[in-house]
């Protein structure tokens, strides 16, 4: 086992950077976490439903973090006509995010009937855009659907979409179950899967009575976590990092109705490296945090000329995770606040 | 459907009354909730492990709520020798509570190896004491045990105990799963089951992101809640009310690590009546909140000469649940705080 690793700057294919004061605080933390390519989620208020809105957001992001490459996304809604898809693709927007209505933060504008969007998906397939799925069914007590099986119940929809649009690249975001992992593995090369850092660490026991570990989809059984760990340790080429880092002010997490979201941006790659070390699969780290996702998103392989990061597990360099980060008038509590990671970023090159 | 119902004062066969300022606040709320017989849990700090401790606690309870009949319990620990069981039984202590180590509030003194307690269980069976079980296995990721299946995994232990001590009366407390309901139904007449009010209302979706609905065992799938509702609606004689009402100060519920427990004591019988009305089984209300539990605990049937409560669903008498109750220097947020119940207690007799 090496005591230090040099990687190209990493890529995070699912990140919530927010807006306003929160964005200003969080955008500079992307590099702090070892990342210089970020797919930025469009679930702002209001959501990014048009090409112009996404471009304006991209310009704002770029101004705040000039060395980071931002991959822009649109929020699937009736505004996303086939003509708008073509406009977006021409403007360099890479992906479209679909939220089922009501399942997570700012998803209240989300999608009910998928069939109505088939012309949009056809246009995306033609324009080679990527469809990112928040893969959960809305809860429905009469059908025994709740947050514990919402992902598994969604998989038929994923299979149907892939069958209907076999050339459309689809990413099942933030998989949390063995069922989702097995489903994605069984589908074709146009279907990939992101996994967060925190879902590699936690199970349901960790978010019950711990609002800073509460997110959607919720972490599930130990056997599900084991499936996530196994697939990243295997280096499967269609599984890669999408942190789903989602900052909320502390008050929104510790009130009567804690918001869903785990914040990992400023500690992201040390967090993943520490886990991969513990799992004995550091040799898969670069595939997970860089190679696999870039290949699927058809980005050029990370170029050492664009700089690199060196991670260390020197005893004297352990990463002490802060109790909280300042974010404008608020503070944001990170994942594993106050604890220590074995790996840290020792240096960066360029 | 009647618009008013008169019942004997109800019985709650599982209640946390706490100690200190919290106890002083909560004990008088028992009657407010329509209850005059309460089985008081022994998981204080330190736990009630000896006859004398339980008697002292009982005297304290009685002084605070003179008209309530308190059923006293001991906390199973190595202090509970067969000789201590006999002493407790002679002193009128009714039941012994077993907490697996580490599963809920003040369970850190709980039980690991059950076999070691077989002489105690034999003495309890001989003395006709009741064994109350917090029926959850401790989480164990290697065996895929977590808070979602901890109850189901415990059922083999329940079956083993019943097989080893067939005349020992056992109560599986606060059942939350269809598996537990079916297990208890299949066992003999010496095994009964309590169900809380809140588990008849909520599923996992309701405590995720809602710390005041978080308790142990956690509420599970909609199909599990349906099984609880079905068995109470059926009037099964071995299922009865044990509220597991468990007050915590607001700060302990809304902090970084919310404590487990739902507080229902001051609204208990209106809450159950409102649900039974919605389920169309008001004719089973008295069995659930009085008859079944008293029969199993070998208490005399509730005597109308000891007083009664009259519940109403008059539109003008809806019960507005407070946002919080004062408890010494703290406040306690009740279940369904701020919402309205269709049924309230219109009057009490004696």
- Is B249 in contact with B18 (CB distance < 8 Å)? no
What pLDDT sits at residue A104?
72
Alpha-carbon distance of B55 to B58, in angstroms, equals 5
Closest C-alpha to B211, from B262, B176, B175: B262
What pLDDT sits at residue A306?
83
Closest C-alpha to B180, from B223, B233, B243: B223
pTM of the model: 0.95
Residue A16 appears among annotated catalytic residues? yes
Closest C-alpha to B12, from B34, B37, B41: B37
Residues in chain B closer than 8 A to A212 (CB atoms): 256
Residues in chain B closer than 8 A to A208 (CB atoms): 147, 207, 214, 218
CA distance A211 to chain B (A): 7
Q: HEC profile for chain A?
A: CCCEEEEECEEEEEECCCCHHHHHHHCCHHHHCCEEEEEECCCCCCCCCCHHHHHHHHHHHHHHCCCCEEECEEECCCCCCHHHHHHHHHCCCCEEEECECCCCCCCCCCECCHHHHHHHHHHHHHHCCEEEECCCCCCEHHHCECCCCHHHHHHHHHHHHHHHCCCCEEEECCCCCHHHHHHHHHCCCCEEEEECCHHHHCCHHHHCCCHHHCCCCCCCCHHHHHHHHHHHHHCCCCEEECCCECCCCHHHHCCCCCCCCECCHHHHHHHHHHHHHHHCCHHHHHHHHHHHHHHHCCCCCCCHHHCEEEEECCHHHCEECCCCEEECCEEECCCCCCCEECCEEEEEEC
**Chain B residues whose C-beta sits inside 8 Å of any chain A C-beta:** 139, 141-142, 144-149, 203-205, 207-212, 214, 218, 221-223, 225, 254-260, 333
Kindly report, residue by residue over A95-114, the tens digit of the pLDDT: 999 998 876 777 666 676 78
Alpha-carbon distance of A261 to A254, in angstroms, equals 12
As a whole number, mean pLDDT of residues B2-8 equals 93
Q: Which residue has the higher pLDDT, A273 or B113?
A: A273
Kindly report, residue by residue over A153-167, the tens digit of the pLDDT: 999 999 999 999 999
CA distance A209 to chain B (A): 5
Alpha-carbon distance of A151 to A138, in angstroms, equals 9
Mutate to test the interface with A, among B137, B211, B250, B332 (most CBs of A within 10 A): B211
User: Closest to A148 (Cβ–Cβ): which among B144, B210, B221?
Assistant: B221
Confidence band, pLDDT 50/70/90 cuts, at residue B111: confident
The phi-psi region of residue B336 (left if phi > 0; otherwise alpha if psi is between -120 and 50; otherwise beta) is left
CA distance B255 to chain A (A): 6
Tokens representing A4?
């230090």
Confidence band, pLDDT 50/70/90 cuts, at residue B349: confident
- Note whether A214 contacts B208, CB cutoff 8 Å: yes
User: Closest to B205 (Cβ–Cβ): which among A147, A204, A223?
Assistant: A147
User: Closest to B214 (Cβ–Cβ): which among A142, A208, A333?
Assistant: A208
Active-site residues of B: which are they? 14, 16, 97, 134, 174, 244
User: Closest to B209 (Cβ–Cβ): which among A203, A204, A214?
Assistant: A214
The 3-state DSSP class for residue B245 equals strand
- Note whether B208 contacts A147, CB cutoff 8 Å: yes
- Note whether B141 contacts A203, CB cutoff 8 Å: yes
What pLDDT sits at residue B110?
64
Kindly report, residue by residue over B59-71, the tens digit of the pLDDT: 999 999 999 999 9
Closest C-alpha to B84, from B71, B74, B97: B74
Kindly report, residue by residue over A191-241, the tens digit of the pLDDT: 999 999 999 999 999 999 999 999 999 999 999 999 999 999 999 999 999
Among chain A residues, CA nearest to B260: A209
Exposure of A295 by Cβ count < 10 A (0-12 exposed, 13-18 middle, 19+ buried)? Answer: middle
What pLDDT sits at residue B170?
98
Kindly report, residue by residue over B219-229, the tens digit of the pLDDT: 999 999 999 99
Confidence band, pLDDT 50/70/90 cuts, at residue A260: very high
Residues in chain B closer than 8 A to A139 (CB atoms): 205
Kindly report, residue by residue over A47-88, the tens digit of the pLDDT: 999 999 999 999 999 999 999 999 999 999 999 999 999 999
User: Closest to A203 (Cβ–Cβ): which among B146, B211, B257?
Assistant: B146
Which residues are CB-neighbours of A124 under 8 A, at least 6 positions away?
A85, A89, A96, A130, A131, A165, A168
Alpha-carbon distance of A17 to A54, in angstroms, equals 13
The ipTM is: 0.93
pLDDT at B350 over 80: no
Mutate to test the interface with A, among B209, B229, B246 (most CBs of A within 10 A): B209
């Amino acid at each position: 086992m090496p005591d230090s690793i040099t990687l190209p700057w990493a890529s995070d294919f699912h990140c919530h950077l927010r807006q306003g004061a929160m964005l200003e605080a969080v955008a500079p933390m992307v590099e702090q976490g070892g990342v210089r390519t970020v797919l930025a989620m469009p679930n702002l208020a209001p959501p990014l439903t048009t090409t112009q809105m996404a471009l304006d957001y991209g310009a704002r992001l770029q101004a705040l973090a000039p060395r980071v490459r931002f991959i822009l996304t649109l929020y699937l809604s009736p505004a996303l006509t086939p003509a708008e898809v073509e406009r977006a693709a021409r403007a360099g927007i890479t992906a479209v995010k679909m939220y089922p209505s009501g399942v997570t933060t700012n998803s209240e504008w989300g999608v009910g009937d998928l069939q109505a969007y088939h012309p949009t998906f056809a246009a995306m397939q033609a324009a080679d855009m990527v469809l990112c799925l928040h893969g959960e069914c809305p809860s429905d007590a009469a059908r025994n659907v709740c947050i514990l099986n919402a992902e598994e119940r969604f998989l038929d929809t994923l299979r149907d979409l892939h069958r209907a649009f076999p050339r459309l690249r689809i990413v099942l975001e933030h998989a949390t179950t063995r069922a989702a992992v097995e489903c994605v593995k069984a589908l074709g090369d146009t279907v990939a899967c992101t996994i967060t850092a925190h879902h590699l660490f936690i199970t349901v026991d960790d978010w019950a009575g711990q609002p800073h570990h509460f997110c959607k989809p919720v972490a599930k059984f130990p056997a599900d976590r084991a499936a996530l760990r196994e697939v990243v340790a295997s280096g499967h080429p269609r599984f890669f990092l999408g942190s789903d880092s989602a900052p909320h002010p502390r008050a929104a997490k510790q009130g009567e109705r804690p918001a869903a979201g785990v914040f990992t941006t400023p500690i992201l790659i040390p967090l993943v490296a520490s886990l991969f070390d513990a799992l004995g699969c550091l040799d898969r780290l670069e595939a997970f945090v860089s190679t696999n996702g870039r290949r699927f998103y058809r980005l050029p392989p990370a170029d050492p000329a664009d700089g690199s990061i060196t991670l260390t597990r020197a005893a004297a360099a352990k990463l002490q995770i802060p109790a909280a980060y300042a974010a404008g008038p608020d503070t944001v509590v990170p994942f594993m606040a106050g604890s220590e990671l074995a790996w840290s970023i020792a240096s960066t090159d360029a």
